[in-house]
């Protein structure tokens, strides 16, 4: 055993002795809290329900509502808790007012365990007590998620007030341990950076710094005057780089450069931790003044993992708990070895991590008063006491704030206390031995992982997609989104924007039968942010070219339809790979041609890649003839034939994804295609053609035919040689196609199949108990993301009366904070609408809207030129009004007030459309109702109603929203084929094989 390990064990054992001398459960509050935590650790389902109940409780105002929620969350529990809860519910029903109060009191008690005070005055009581115990403090302001600049201002004001109160109330206080006190001011404030600016965007740290620095400077100035210390807390990974950069920028300014009382957090659970710390130390040396680093493991482990998995990003956190522990120690060493420039604050409750820092500091001969241990209020009390007794400097992190905003903090602490992998549970609840708890974490890191997560991972893979819980189709893995948090991604995007700009004005031909075809007329494609800028030109097809394309597609059909499906699948996969290679360039073209913000453009390219890969996968599932029934003496195989020539007519709002999705579905099933992009996004269409050509699509199989819908579109829709039409676009055009395709014309041999996806008037309902932090952020995104020009966009917000005022106050403030501008700049939420026609139409709708409803908000800060329409919100909207019934396709939101949930659902369902619908609620019963009753093809609960992901959210509506097909779903390809069954009697003179194979090769595959 190394001498360091021996010293760690000696010190760790000493801490445990001291801890055990004053035995105290971590769940120091007896009664309700203790029992809830015990149940939570015994039963994962109870824990989930319990924490969800806690989360909603603070927002419930009436006793009967509390009882109702209690019942809904726990009614179906079948474990040991059930009788207790049921008795509670029973009693509560009899006396809802009393029991609601009692419950709230109990949960408030839980929250009070972790929240040091509701306001500065209350927190002072706690701080005085701690002072007597020799414990210092840092105070953190709890708050709701900051969704608007108004809320960000309020947070800044609260910081000032708190600093003033703390400074005034602690006048005359001295350092708890004495000596070296100049490094450790008594007043210490922890600041959440994201609470000071509501529009932080990971892709644009410069913008974040430009907005945050002016807000922080006065706070820092005041802290400096008062002799206080300011710490920048660290939040999610998305904000990490901006927070670090902000810290370095501000504290390099002459005013603050020689001020040593600034600190920042490094999270050891991040793989970046070591590099970030080394960069900080190098910066600190060049600055020449001490600063502090609080080293923690990190509070958002589950969130980071889930978020990354959802978006296909590499996971920034270590996946095994001992890896985080080991990294904590590695970073501890770097900190202590650089003690000359950086003061260490070790934020941990883990005795091994603490003992390591103590032992190493001693080995490095560092005075034990030159660093400190920081622990959270309400947690690990005995450890704090032990550390004080050992003569160490201890600071408590004291959150201050009201119960409601404190709930998410409370739930985080509850999760931490009950985590299977957490130190506190292991020591205080499972009484693990000191020897085990003090082991070197590096010995515990396993190749395959040893934690609950790794176990679950292994179990999942044992099933290999073969169980009922995990059907085989659930094996599709989506392409990843670009993570703009990385500087490298930001630079690639900026380079691509510059590069694409240099080829503005380029001309693109038609492609017919594999040949480039130029025509007399060129159509120009404009940049809607700067309409005098021409992005490029495409040749315009007329009737003659449409006929040529049709002939080419017909001629190519014979061969293509007989090409093995595997080859067709591989074509799609090559297309996906090329899209991936060119994704920044293609995204940049979308920024210019259709005004998409960076992340939206990237999402569109990702979706196109997904369509290629998903449809290839689906085709492999349906491509081989499949035995219909196992019956002796006869074999019957069902398989699919392509329909013929498909006409694809696509919209401009997802210029790559929707075009590519319809084209690939048609091609992979063996149809040949005439591809007509929307006029405003014809350049993206031309680039998709280029991609297909590079991927090796045979001549005539895909023909590129830009032109006017009213001319070539109408001509081809009516043509007797078109077998199918895949259309996405407006209701007006869609219905015309539907009707026209229904007519049988002379020379027509097939009944035309139409895949028709149209618009929506999508409702989002906000229940009276909804989590408003989530509701506001997601509604703003659903209504105004890409200027409201998504068919899935929220255009009607239906708010229950009880919550109405609070929702509107926060919603309008959030809308007022949105950045409207040219989307070349990252972090812009609202860019231009697509063209002048749309611009005039939307403005007209707004003018008419003013006559029927109240214009509650319209942004005023937007560029003077370009087709910019600021976010616009109407209130007092009634269900029958035009604002409620007609699709607007712009950044205009109509808000309707509903009496109750019945009323809200009736309003939501009262339109011609049925595309998407959203519901925000924390009532399990109401959520169940919404799931059952909302009339929409895609119903989203507690999330935005846009952003369907291929394979995960098969997308499409019914009623006047479409024909009920689901793009990106398992049955979509079936629209592009005709089924066929081939039956053969295989009995010869009474003899037949015992069994027939379930699948066979494609018919005719052995003829070539
Ligand atoms: C005073 C103080 C201030 C803090 N400030 C911040 C802050 O600004 N920002 C922030 O993010 N956190 C902050 N934290 C940290 C956080 O809130 C947790 O308290 C801390 O991570 C718990 O670690 P521990 O060493 O006490 O316990 P341990 O039980 O030893 O470690 C638990 C931690 O290990 C990590 N972990 C859990 N499971 C896994 C796994 N499977 N694989 C890898 N790692 C895993 C997680 O980070 C988890 O929190 C702060 C903590 C303290 C004490």
Q: Which two tokens stand for residue 247?
A: 């810290």
Q: Supply φ then ψ for residue 365, to 5 degrees.
A: 65, 45
Model pLDDT, residue 332:
98
CA nearest ligand 1 atom 31, residue: 422
Q: Cβ(296) to ligand 1 under 6 A?
A: yes
- Taking the centre of ligand 1 as the mean of its atom positions, its distance from the CA of residue 189, in whole angstroms, is 19
Atom of ligand 1 nearest to the CA of 416: 49
Cα–Cα distance list, 321 to 328, 330, 442, 914 (Å):
11, 14, 10, 46
Q: Cβ(353) to ligand 1 under 6 A?
A: yes
Pairing of strands 372-376, 394-400: parallel
Q: Supply φ then ψ for residue 798, to 5 degrees.
A: -110, 115
- Taking the centre of ligand 1 as the mean of its atom positions, its distance from the CA of residue 428, in whole angstroms, is 17
Cα–Cα distance list, 582 to 494, 496, 577, 693 (Å):
14, 10, 9, 14
* 791 is annotated as an active-site residue: yes
Quickly list DSSP for 516-560.
EE--S-EEEEEETTEEEEEEEEEEPP-HHHHHHHHHHHHHHHHHH
Q: Supply φ then ψ for residue 511, to 5 degrees.
A: -125, 115
Mutate to test the pocket of ligand 1, among 297, 351, 353 (most ligand atoms within 8 A of CB): 297
Cα–Cα distance list, 977 to 549, 556, 639, 646 (Å):
21, 17, 9, 11
- Taking the centre of ligand 1 as the mean of its atom positions, its distance from the CA of residue 421, in whole angstroms, is 11
| Closest C-alpha to 219, from 232, 206, 210, 208 | 232
Q: Which two tokens stand for residue 47?
A: 């824990």
Burial class (CB in 10 A: 0-12, 13-18, 19+), 364: exposed
Cα–Cα distance list, 92 to 58, 64, 89, 873 (Å):
17, 8, 5, 41
Q: Cβ(193) to ligand 1 under 6 A?
A: no
- DSSP strands (E only) in 179-301: 188-191, 229-232, 262-267, 291-296
Q: Which two tokens stand for residue 67?
A: 């009882």
Look-up: residue for tokens 């493991």? 297
Of 757, 824, 825, 887, the catalytic one is: 757
| CB-CB contact of 712 with 705 (8 Å) | yes
Predicted confidence (pLDDT) per residue in 870-908, tens digit: 999 999 999 999 999 999 999 999 999 999 999 999 999
Strand partners of residue 265: 294
Q: Cβ(321) to ligand 1 under 6 A?
A: yes
Q: Cβ(731) to ligand 1 under 6 A?
A: no
Strand partners of residue 763: 796
Task: Determine the Cα–Cα distance for residues 257 and 959; give it in Å rounded to an integer.
Answer: 64
* Helix ranges, 419-542 (H): 423-424, 434-437, 441-444, 452-463, 487-502
Cα–Cα distance list, 433 to 161, 429, 696 (Å):
46, 12, 65
Task: Determine the Cα–Cα distance for residues 167 and 160; give it in Å rounded to an integer.
Answer: 11
| Closest C-alpha to 270, from 245, 243, 301, 246 | 301
- Taking the centre of ligand 1 as the mean of its atom positions, its distance from the CA of residue 353, in whole angstroms, is 11
Which residues of the chain are modeled with pLDDT < 70?
Answer: 23-32, 78-99, 404, 447-474, 1007-1008
Model pLDDT, residue 25:
55
* 757 is annotated as an active-site residue: yes
Q: Cβ(243) to ligand 1 under 6 A?
A: no
Mutate to test the pocket of ligand 1, among 138, 193, 234, 299 (most ligand atoms within 8 A of CB): 299
| Closest C-alpha to 162, from 137, 133, 197 | 137
Look-up: residue for tokens 């001498």? 3
Cα–Cα distance list, 333 to 372, 442, 610, 908 (Å):
15, 15, 45, 59
Task: Determine the Cα–Cα distance for residues 466 and 617; give it in Å rounded to an integer.
Answer: 17
Angle at 943 between CA 937 and CA 945, to 5 degrees: 35
- CA torsion, ordered 275, 281, 283, 288, to nearest 10 deg: 180
Model pLDDT, residue 82:
59
Q: Which two tokens stand for residue 705?
A: 């035919």
Task: Determine the Cα–Cα distance for residues 639 and 659; give it in Å rounded to an integer.
Answer: 26
| Closest C-alpha to 535, from 681, 429, 428 | 681
Pairing of strands 515-517, 672-676: unpaired
Mutate to test the pocket of ligand 1, among 240, 267, 298, 457 (most ligand atoms within 8 A of CB): 298
Task: Determine the Cα–Cα distance for residues 295 and 265; give it in Å rounded to an integer.
Answer: 6
Task: Determine the Cα–Cα distance for residues 609 and 968; give it in Å rounded to an integer.
Answer: 11
| CB-CB contact of 247 with 275 (8 Å) | no
Q: Cβ(203) to ligand 1 under 6 A?
A: no
Q: Supply φ then ψ for residue 663, to 5 degrees.
A: -65, -45
CA 33 to chain centre: 32
CA nearest ligand 1 atom 17, residue: 299
Task: Determine the Cα–Cα distance for residues 422 and 432; give it in Å rounded to an integer.
Answer: 12
Look-up: residue for tokens 């009614």? 75
What is the rounded end-to-end Cα distance, in angstroms, of the chain? 72
Q: Cβ(346) to ligand 1 under 6 A?
A: no
SS3 (DSSP) at 39: helix
- Taking the centre of ligand 1 as the mean of its atom positions, its distance from the CA of residue 837, in whole angstroms, is 54
Q: Cβ(586) to ligand 1 under 6 A?
A: no
Q: Supply φ then ψ for residue 708, to 5 degrees.
A: -85, 130
- Describe the crossing of helices 321-337 and 273-287 by its angle, rounded to 10 degrees: 20
Cα–Cα distance list, 883 to 564, 886, 892 (Å):
51, 6, 9
Atom of ligand 1 nearest to the CA of 138: 1
Atom of ligand 1 nearest to the CA of 425: 29
- Taking the centre of ligand 1 as the mean of its atom positions, its distance from the CA of residue 55, in whole angstroms, is 21
- Taking the centre of ligand 1 as the mean of its atom positions, its distance from the CA of residue 554, in whole angstroms, is 64
CA nearest ligand 1 atom 8, residue: 233
Model pLDDT, residue 87:
64
Model pLDDT, residue 199:
96
Q: Supply φ then ψ for residue 637, to 5 degrees.
A: -115, 130
For the chain, what is the largest distance between any 2 Cα atoms, rounded to a whole number of angstroms?
Answer: 109
- Taking the centre of ligand 1 as the mean of its atom positions, its distance from the CA of residue 424, in whole angstroms, is 11
Q: Which two tokens stand for residue 426?
A: 């292991």
Q: Cβ(300) to ligand 1 under 6 A?
A: yes
CA nearest ligand 1 atom 51, residue: 347
| Closest C-alpha to 895, from 783, 975, 1007 | 783
Mutate to test the pocket of ligand 1, among 136, 247, 296 (most ligand atoms within 8 A of CB): 296
Cα–Cα distance list, 771 to 58, 795, 919, 998 (Å):
10, 20, 11, 51
Atom of ligand 1 nearest to the CA of 421: 38
Pairing of strands 626-627, 634-642: antiparallel
Model pLDDT, residue 78:
57
In terms of phi and psi (left: phi > 0; alpha: psi -120 to 50; beta: otherwise), the region of 480 is beta
Of 159, 398, 756, 791, the catalytic one is: 791
In terms of phi and psi (left: phi > 0; alpha: psi -120 to 50; beta: otherwise), the region of 729 is left
State what percent of residues in the chain have pLDDT above 90: 81
Give, for 735, the enclosing helix (H) or strand (E): helix 731-741
Give the other-Cβ count within 10 Å of 698's Cβ.
Answer: 15
Task: Determine the Cα–Cα distance for residues 187 and 229; give it in Å rounded to an integer.
Answer: 6
Q: Cβ(297) to ligand 1 under 6 A?
A: yes
SS3 (DSSP) at 754: strand
Predicted confidence (pLDDT) per residue in 743-772, tens digit: 999 999 999 999 999 999 999 999 999 999
């Amino acid at each position: 055993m190394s001498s360091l390990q021996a010293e760690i064990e000696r010190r760790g054992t000493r801490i445990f002795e001291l801890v055990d001398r004053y035995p105290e459960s971590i769940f120091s509050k007896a009664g309700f809290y203790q029992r809830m935590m015990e149940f939570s650790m015994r039963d994962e389902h109870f824990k989930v329900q319990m924490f969800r109940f806690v989360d909603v409780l603070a927002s419930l105002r009436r006793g009967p509502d509390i009882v109702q929620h209690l019942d809904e969350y726990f009614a179906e529990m079948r474990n040991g808790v059930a009788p207790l809860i049921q008795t509670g519910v029973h009693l509560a029903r009899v006396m809802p007012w009393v029991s609601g109060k009692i419950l709230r009191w109990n949960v408030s008690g839980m929250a009070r365990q972790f929240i040091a005070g509701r306001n500065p005055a209350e927190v002072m009581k706690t701080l005085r007590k701690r002072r007597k115990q020799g414990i210092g403090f840092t105070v953190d302001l709890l708050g709701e998620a900051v969704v608007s600049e108004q809320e960000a201002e309020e947070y800044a004001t609260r910081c000032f007030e708190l600093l003033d109160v703390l400074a005034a109330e602690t006048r005359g206080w001295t350092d708890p341990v004495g000596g070296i006190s100049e490094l450790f001011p008594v007043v210490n404030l922890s600041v959440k950076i994201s609470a000071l600016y509501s529009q932080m965007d990971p892709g644009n740290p410069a913008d974040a710094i430009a907005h945050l620095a002016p807000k922080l400077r006065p706070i820092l100035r005041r802290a400096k005057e008062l002799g206080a210390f300011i710490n920048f807390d660290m939040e999610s990974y998305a904000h990490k780089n901006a927070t670090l950069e902000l810290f370095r920028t501000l504290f390099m300014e002459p005013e603050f450069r020689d001020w040593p009382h600034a600190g920042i957090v490094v999270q050891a659970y991040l793989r970046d931790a070591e590099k970030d710390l080394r960069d900080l130390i190098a910066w600190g040396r060049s600055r020449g003044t001490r600063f502090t680093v609080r080293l923690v493991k990190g509070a958002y482990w589950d969130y980071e993992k889930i978020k990354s998995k959802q978006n296909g990003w590499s996971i920034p956190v270590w996946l095994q708990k001992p890896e985080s522990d080991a990294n904590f120690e590695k970073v501890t060493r770097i900190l202590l070895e650089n003690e000359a420039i950086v003061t260490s604050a070790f934020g941990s409750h883990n005795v091994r991590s603490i003992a390591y820092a103590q032992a190493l500091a001693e080995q490095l001969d560092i005075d034990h008063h030159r660093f400190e241990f920081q622990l959270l209020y309400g947690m690990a009390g005995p450890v704090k006491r032990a550390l004080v007794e050992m003569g160490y400097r201890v600071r408590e992190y004291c959150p201050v704030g009201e119960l409601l905003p404190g709930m998410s903090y409370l739930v985080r602490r509850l999760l931490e206390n009950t985590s299977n992998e957490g130190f506190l549970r292991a020591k205080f609840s499972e009484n693990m031995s000191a020897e085990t708890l003090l082991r070197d974490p590096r010995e515990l890191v396993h190749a395959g992982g040893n934690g609950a997560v790794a176990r679950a991972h292994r179990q999942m893979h044992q099933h290999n997609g073969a169980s009922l819980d995990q059907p085989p189709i659930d094996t599709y893995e989506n392409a990843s989104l670009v993570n703009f948090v990385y500087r490298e991604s930001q630079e690639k995007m900026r380079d691509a924007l510059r590069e694409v700009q240099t080829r503005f004005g380029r001309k693109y031909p038609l492609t017919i039968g594999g040949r480039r075809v130029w025509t007399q007329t060129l159509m120009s494609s404009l940049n809607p942010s700067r309409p005098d800028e021409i992005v490029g030109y495409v040749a315009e097809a007329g009737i003659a070219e449409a006929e040529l394309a049709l002939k080419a597609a017909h001629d190519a059909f014979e061969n293509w339809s007989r090409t093995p499906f595997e080859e067709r699948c591989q074509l799609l996969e090559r297309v996906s790979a090329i899209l991936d290679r060119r994704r920044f360039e293609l995204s940049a073209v979308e920024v210019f041609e259709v005004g998409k913000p960076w992340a939206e453009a990237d999402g569109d390219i990702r979706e196109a890649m997904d369509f290629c890969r998903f449809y290839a996968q689906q085709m492999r599932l349906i491509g081989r003839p499949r035995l219909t029934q196992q019956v002796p003496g006869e074999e019957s195989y069902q398989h699919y034939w392509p329909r013929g020539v498909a006409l694809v007519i696509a919209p401009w709002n997802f210029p790559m994804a929707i075009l590519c999705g319809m084209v690939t579905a048609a091609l992979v099933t063996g149809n040949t295609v005439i591809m007509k992009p929307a006029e405003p996004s014809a350049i993206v269409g031309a680039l998709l053609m280029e991609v297909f050509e590079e991927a090796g699509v045979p001549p005539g199989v895909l023909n590129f035919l830009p032109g006017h819908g009213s001319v070539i579109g109408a001509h081809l829709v009516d043509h007797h040689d078109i077998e199918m039409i895949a259309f996405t676009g407006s209701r007006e055009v869609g219905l015309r196609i539907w009707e026209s395709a229904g007519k049988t014309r002379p020379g027509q041999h097939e009944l035309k199949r139409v895949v028709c996806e149209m618009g929506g008037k999508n409702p989002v309902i906000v229940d009276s108990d909804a989590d408003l932090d989530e509701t506001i952020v997601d509604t703003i995104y659903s209504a105004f993301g890409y200027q409201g020009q998504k068919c899935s966009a929220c255009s009607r917000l239906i708010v229950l009366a009880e919550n109405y005022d609070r929702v509107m106050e926060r919603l309008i403030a959030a809308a007022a904070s949105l950045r409207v501008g040219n989307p070349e700049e990252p972090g812009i939420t609202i860019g231009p609408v697509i063209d002048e026609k749309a611009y005039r139409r939307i403005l007209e709708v707004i003018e008419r809207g003013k006559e029927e409803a109240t214009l509650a908000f319209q942004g005023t800060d937007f560029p003077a030129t370009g087709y910019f329409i600021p976010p616009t919100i109407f209130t007092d909207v009634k269900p029958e009004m035009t604002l409620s019934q007609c699709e607007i396709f712009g950044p205009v939101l109509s808000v309707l007030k509903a009496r109750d949930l019945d009323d809200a659902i009736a309003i939501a369902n009262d339109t011609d459309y049925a595309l998407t619908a959203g519901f925000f609620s924390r009532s399990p019963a109401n959520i169940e109702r919404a799931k059952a009753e909302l009339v929409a093809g895609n119903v989203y609960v507690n999330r935005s109603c846009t952003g369907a992901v291929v394979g995960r959210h098969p997308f499409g509506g019914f009623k006047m929203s479409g024909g009920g097909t689901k793009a990106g779903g398992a049955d979509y390809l079936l629209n592009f084929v005709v089924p066929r069954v081939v039956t053969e009697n295989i009995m010869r003179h009474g003899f037949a094989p015992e069994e027939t194979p379930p699948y066979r090769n494609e018919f005719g595959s052995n003829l070539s």
